[in-house]
Amino acid sequence: MPPPMESSLLLRRVRRAMTGDGMSDASWQQRLNRAVELLATGMNAAVCSVYLMRRESGRAVLELCATEGLDAKAVHKTRLRLGEGLVGDIALHARTLNLADGARHPNFAPRPETNEARFNAFAGVPILRGGEVVGVLAVQNVGARAFPEEDIAELQSVAMVLAELLSDVRLTAQHRLAQAAQRQFEGLGLVEGLALGQVALHMPHVEIGRMIADNVEDEQRRLDAGIYALRRSVDDLLQTEGRARWGEHLDVLETYQMFANDAGWRMRLRAAVRTGLTAEAAVERVLNGMRARLMGQQDAYLRERLHDLEDLSQRLLRLLLQDGASARAALPKDAVLLAHMLGPADLLDYHQQGLRALVLEEGSPHAHVTIVARALGLPMVGRVRNLLASARTGQSVIVDGDLGQVHLMPPPAIVRAHRTRAHKRQREQQSLARLSRLPARTRDGVDVQLCINAGLLVDLQNLEQSGAAGVGLFRTELQFLISARMPRLAEQIAFYASALDAAGDLPVVFRTLDIGGDKIAPYMRQRHEQNPAMGWRALRLALDRPGFLRYQVRALMRAAARRPLHVLLPMVGAAQEYARARALIAREYEHMKRLQHPLPSALKIGAMLEVPALVWELDALLPQVDFLAIGSNDLLQFAFASDRSNPLVSERYDMISPAALSMLSFVVQACARHTTPLSLCGEAAGRPLEALVLMALGVRSLSMPRASLGPVKRMVRSTRLERFRSSMQKLLEQQKPAGADGASLRERLHAAAHRQGISL
């Protein structure tokens, strides 16, 4: 068997085989055939195949487009669905497989027309372009022996070259015309607000001209110099005068700084250069690999780390190409920035130029860039697909952060409507701001405690002026999920103490860590779970790993020295679980007492009701707890067996239904019997109609997003609660099925509130 070909030489030959002018379909096929032939020879593989993503009857399939070693008659005939076979598994999960005996893998699904059943060893890598899987590159051998790691690294480098060379073939003129015709785009509203302005395009992607290294040692030196310059630029960003006044967002930038100094990232970059790539191509390949790993995660928090990694990689590429000066063109007046992804540092750079709003093709509520945008008061919409292909610099644009919409080149009627909305919104905000000084009391004298949900220090700014009665739910896991390492005890103490300081005399309920399941911190081991929301998470994880809970409780007690401390335990599944957790907290309390540390002036330990089974254990649980908080999001999701984020079943998830109201009424009555304080924290508390129904059931404490305080308080102050409660009781007793009179219970309750003059 001939020795394997040198990596850089193989890359050059593949690139040479694929490049050239006039890439017709025929010549494109011939070049792809030549590429797989070269790869099979260069890697001593019996088989090398390329599968590319196609659309067939509206769904994505993988088509065998070229092969060396499989039956040539199968080319353009063999098609696999996403998840079907080993190739489909790679495409679905955007991950690499390297199997000594692929035939024994549960996903092995040989197609008879390919004649591949005789091959055992299998390795495959996704072909990625901009984080999107566009195909799969696979090699096979007869012997049952996994491919060496250096071969896998080589496959990944070749896949990146193929992605670059194949990208222009994938977008047809018809598709471009369809994109250009689109003018209204739907997305996810991430920061509320309206903005009218001009398009400014963020173009972070740096085109790489030279991919194959002439001298590996020279490329290693260039890479090291670029990383050093990157670290200095990030350090300068943190030290710039004025950055420190953003307080909480300095934590975000410090996490960003940790990424820039990550030894593992540098090690992967150097390893990529050793395969024969230039420093720039190595950055691109490592970024593609990180995209594949993070975008395949179920945990949205972890996937959003990609924003920072994308930003850092593009900054490093500009430094390597000595093009840093061209990275930030001057923004037009009233600029609205459009981008695929954006890092927090980039946003701060742009904000200095008078940015009006931000729109991303990616993005989530917990992304670092969203946290910074929220602090800056920038309207923001994320997850807007196909936007960049249609937009041009200087076009007029409207960003609606309330509805999650973006309008490109809007007609005059749309502009007038949004200007009217903007003026109306401004007047309404002024009206709601005046309510902050008034009590949350119904017209018939019932007081309701309205609190906010929080998770970052920015959520607590000017809390006393907001009119909130306190923080009903402080999610402590956000500090852990946005950190590159587990926060040390001193860091946790400082964070919790800052939260208590910001709240002043108002109470703060700290929920202990709700991590695990689909919320995996970067330094935690990833465990695959079929149903992560119902898996090893929250209190279940804390009881199995009690060091987590004791360490956090120690920090909370130290932070609350001589002040009241409220601790809430999430995902309690049984009364016995709560008892075990409370005993752990008591041990920590006694430990601090022995060490003569200042103790909290009062310690209240509550349970979160999220598991429906716990409803039937309330008589055993309530005598043990200091307070109970209903976590309506998970409780109802589990009760209805409906994922509230899945649009196919989301209509089955309705708090205002007889079954849900019956269960909630049972909980309220149980708490009344045991004189246990009860609150509800969840999305339902922030919607005026749902909040009104909860009040009618007897709930007197609601915790909600801060933006919901004004609308809910306005509803409270416009309500005669006993009158509405009587109307609701009659409707529940009638139990008319939806459709009997053309209206659901929700619609009938909304109509009753409207007749009574309640502001919803």
Q: What is the CATH number of the domain that holds 145?
A: 3.30.450.40
Q: Would you say residue 177 lies in a domain? A: no
pLDDT of residue 170 exceeding 80: no
* Per-residue model confidence (pLDDT) at position 203: 67
Q: Are 42 and 68 in contact (CB under 8 A)?
A: no
pLDDT of residue 526 exceeding 80: no
Q: Would you say residue 179 lies in a domain? A: no
Mark which of 128, 148, 170 sits at the end of a domain. 170
Residues 347, 457 within the same domain? no
Element at 678 (helix H, strand E): strand 678-681
pLDDT of residue 720 exceeding 70: yes
Q: Which two tokens stand for residue 663?
A: 């269960």
Note the pLDDT tens digit of each residue in 362-375.
887 767 678 778 76
* Per-residue model confidence (pLDDT) at position 169: 47
* Per-residue model confidence (pLDDT) at position 598: 93
Residues 115, 263 within the same domain? no
Domain count, the chain: 3
Catalytic residue among 368, 407, 418, 750: 368
Q: Would you say residue 430 lies in a domain? A: no
Mean pLDDT across the stretch 467-490?
80
Q: Which two tokens stand for residue 338?
A: 């459009």
**DSSP conformation letters of 129-147:** ETTEEEEEEEEEESSS-PP
Q: Would you say residue 416 lies in a domain? A: yes
Mark which of 425, 457, 490 sits at the end of a domain. 425
CATH number at residue 645: 3.20.20.60
Q: Which domain holds residue 392?
A: 184-425
pLDDT of residue 261 exceeding 80: no
Q: Which two tokens stand for residue 504?
A: 């002043």
Residues 674, 616 within the same domain? yes
More confident residue, 548 or 557: 557
Q: Would you say residue 345 lies in a domain? A: yes
* Per-residue model confidence (pLDDT) at position 699: 97
Q: What's the DSSP call for residue 656?
A: S
Task: Give the list of residues 6+ apart from residue 532 with CB closer than 8 angstroms, or none.
Answer: 298, 516, 517, 518
* Per-residue model confidence (pLDDT) at position 402: 83
Q: Are 453 and 683 in contact (CB under 8 A)?
A: no
Residues 188, 296 within the same domain? yes
pLDDT of residue 233 exceeding 60: yes
* Per-residue model confidence (pLDDT) at position 253: 56
> How far is residue 416 CA from its own chain's centroid?
34
Distances (CA, A) of 94 to 104, 143, 275, 401: 21, 26, 21, 31
Residues 100, 127 within the same domain? yes
pLDDT confidence band for 1 (50 / 70 / 90): very low
* Per-residue model confidence (pLDDT) at position 296: 52
Catalytic residue among 65, 451, 671, 681: 681
Mark which of 425, 444, 479 sits at the end of a domain. 425
* Per-residue model confidence (pLDDT) at position 184: 82
Percent of the chain past pLDDT 70, that is, above it, reads 80
More confident residue, 507 or 760: 507
More confident residue, 718 or 42: 718
Please report, to the nearest 10 degrees, the dihedral formed by the alpha carbons of residues 158, 159, 164, 165 taken in order.
Answer: 70
Note the pLDDT tens digit of each residue in 626-656.
999 999 888 988 888 877 666 566 667 788 9
pLDDT confidence band for 241 (50 / 70 / 90): very low
**Distance separating alpha carbons of residues 514 and 194, to the nearest angstrom:** 34
pLDDT of residue 666 exceeding 90: yes
* Per-residue model confidence (pLDDT) at position 58: 65
Residues 284, 188 within the same domain? yes
Q: Is 671 a catalytic residue?
A: no
Most confident range, picked from 376-390, 558-572, 645-659: 558-572
Task: Give the list of residues 6+ apart from residue 51 with CB closer than 8 angstroms, or none.
Answer: 62, 63, 64, 65, 80, 87, 91, 135, 136, 138
Q: What's the DSSP call for residue 352?
A: T
* Per-residue model confidence (pLDDT) at position 4: 54
Largest CA distance in the chain: 91
Q: Which two tokens stand for residue 376?
A: 């800056």
* Per-residue model confidence (pLDDT) at position 159: 86
Q: Which two tokens stand for residue 322?
A: 């000595």
Mean pLDDT across the stretch 281-301?
67
Residues 162, 24 within the same domain? yes
Residues 117, 217 within the same domain? no
* E strand residue ranges, 458-499: 471-475
CB atoms within 10 A of CB 739: 8
Mean pLDDT across the stretch 562-590?
94
Q: Is 566 a catalytic residue?
A: no
Q: Which two tokens stand for residue 477?
A: 């896991």
Residues 393, 459 within the same domain? no
Q: Pick from 43, 67, 50, 221: which is nearest to 149 by CA?
A: 43
Residues 342, 472 within the same domain? no
For the whole model, what pTM was predicted? 0.58
| Whole-number average pLDDT of the chain | 81
Mean pLDDT across the stretch 446-474?
87
pLDDT of residue 380 exceeding 90: yes
pLDDT confidence band for 257 (50 / 70 / 90): low
3-state helix, strand, coil in the chain (%, to 5): 50, 15, 35
Lowest mean pLDDT of 62-66, 236-240, 309-313, 565-569, name the range: 236-240
Q: Pick from 203, 256, 209, 267: which is nearest to 230 by CA?
A: 256
Residues 563, 513 within the same domain? yes
Size (the chain), residues: 760
Q: Would you say residue 1 lies in a domain? A: no
Note the pLDDT tens digit of each residue in 12-71.
787 777 765 444 445 778 888 888 998 888 888 999 999 998 877 667 889 999 999 999
Q: Would you say residue 557 lies in a domain? A: yes
**Distance separating alpha carbons of residues 264 and 472, to the nearest angstrom:** 39
Looking only at the bridges linking them, the beta strands covering 132-141 and 471-475 are unpaired
* Per-residue model confidence (pLDDT) at position 460: 82
Looking only at the bridges linking them, the beta strands covering 449-454 and 471-475 are parallel
Q: Would you say residue 384 lies in a domain? A: yes
Looking only at the bridges linking them, the beta strands covering 627-631 and 602-609 are parallel
Residues 631, 658 within the same domain? yes
Q: What angle do CA 7, 11, 16 make, to 5 degrees?
A: 150
pLDDT confidence band for 244 (50 / 70 / 90): very low
CATH number at residue 201: 1.10.274.10
* Per-residue model confidence (pLDDT) at position 584: 93
Note the pLDDT tens digit of each residue in 94-126.
888 999 998 888 888 888 899 888 899 999 999
